[in-house]
A and B are shown apart, each in its own frame.
Chain A
């Protein structure tokens, strides 16, 4: 009886030891809170115009993490909410924020000039970049990133028309890969959590 108890006890100890060793030596799985692109894909390149009139190429930012969002300056709700959240993310990142670039690409080039976009994003953070371009160039960017946008006339509104659009934030990692994306309303903590993993 006593021998059996000792045998069972030893067996359990060996089992715990094996499980512990396997757990210790297995590669740690990273769990992001954003939606993961698996495998990460090279982020589609684009060249658009920024506030000072110069060109901006996405590949220029390789080495930094880019948080990319599509919206428009007449948008009174979703776009400013997202940009405010990006501002909070940058504040919470501390020194790591130097390696993060927030880029806001218009879905309303008729009304959003590069200068207007620059003034608009500067309300939130002067380091944010606002981009516009020709309809042809922008249509390619929207398509490459799977952004749906549609102008909707509002006959009874002084707004004239509004632009319905998808409201995801895309994270492009330091190697220039489309790595994660986030739906509207994702808590800022989730962005900070994922960015800290990427900066480890």
Chain B
């Protein structure tokens, strides 16, 4: 009888641990990373999907050696006019945060060289909690 109780406790503990693993302690990941083509001295933008299975984090900044400056921006529509608003940081709640055309994007300002479809480079995202994530970026047309 006491052995049965022990099994029950073990099974309950196993489920509890599995549930913890699924909901709270996974690692933040960044997927579907791509950038637009662009011309030397011009601008481009990087897009991706952040998958955050843990507690809320914050994207503080981004960096890359393909451009003179790398900033966080968001495109918004206001009274029929498209405008961009620089973001000092971007909250990353639990779940997906999508950087996509017409919305959040990492802006590459002053490209050192042309970015052509098929080219690759790296960009590093700096999160408050998850730290730095260096991503492989593929240049492609949307």
Contact = CB atoms under 8 A, between A and B. Distances in A.
Interface string B92-131: 0000000001100101111000000000000000000000
Interface centre among A119, A123, A162 (most CB of B within 10 A): A123
Given A87-B141, A164-B82, A78 B102 contact: yes
A158 B71 CA distance: 8
Give the bracket for the number of chain B residues in contact with chain A.
20 to 34
A15 B37 CA distance: 61
Interface stretch (B1-9, B12-20, B21-29, B40-48): B40-48
Contacts, number: 86
A22 to B, nearest CB: 40
Contact of B77 (A84, A119, A184): A184
B36 A167 contact: no
A76 B44 contact: yes
Interface residues of A, number: 32
A28 B39 CA distance: 47
A77 B77 CA distance: 12
Contact of B82 (A78, A119, A124, A159): A78
A150 B80 CA distance: 13
A80 interface: yes
Contacts of B39: 73, 116, 119-120, 123
Contacts of A76: 36, 38, 43-45, 73, 84, 105, 107-109
A60 interface: no
A80 B36 contact: yes
Contacts of B101: 77, 81
A123 B75 contact: no
Interface of A: 73-78, 80-81, 84, 87, 116, 119-120, 123-124, 148, 150, 152, 154, 156-159, 162, 164-168, 183-185
The 8 closest A-B pairs by CB, nearest first: A158-B69, A164-B83, A76-B45, A76-B43, A78-B82, A167-B82, A81-B101, A158-B109
19 contacts: A73-B39, A76-B43, A76-B73, A76-B108, A76-B109, A77-B84, A81-B102, A116-B39, A120-B42, A123-B38, A152-B83, A156-B88, A157-B69, A158-B71, A159-B43, A159-B71, A164-B84, A165-B82, A184-B77
Interface of B: 36-39, 42-45, 68-69, 71, 73, 75, 77-78, 80-84, 86, 88, 101-102, 105, 107-110, 141-142
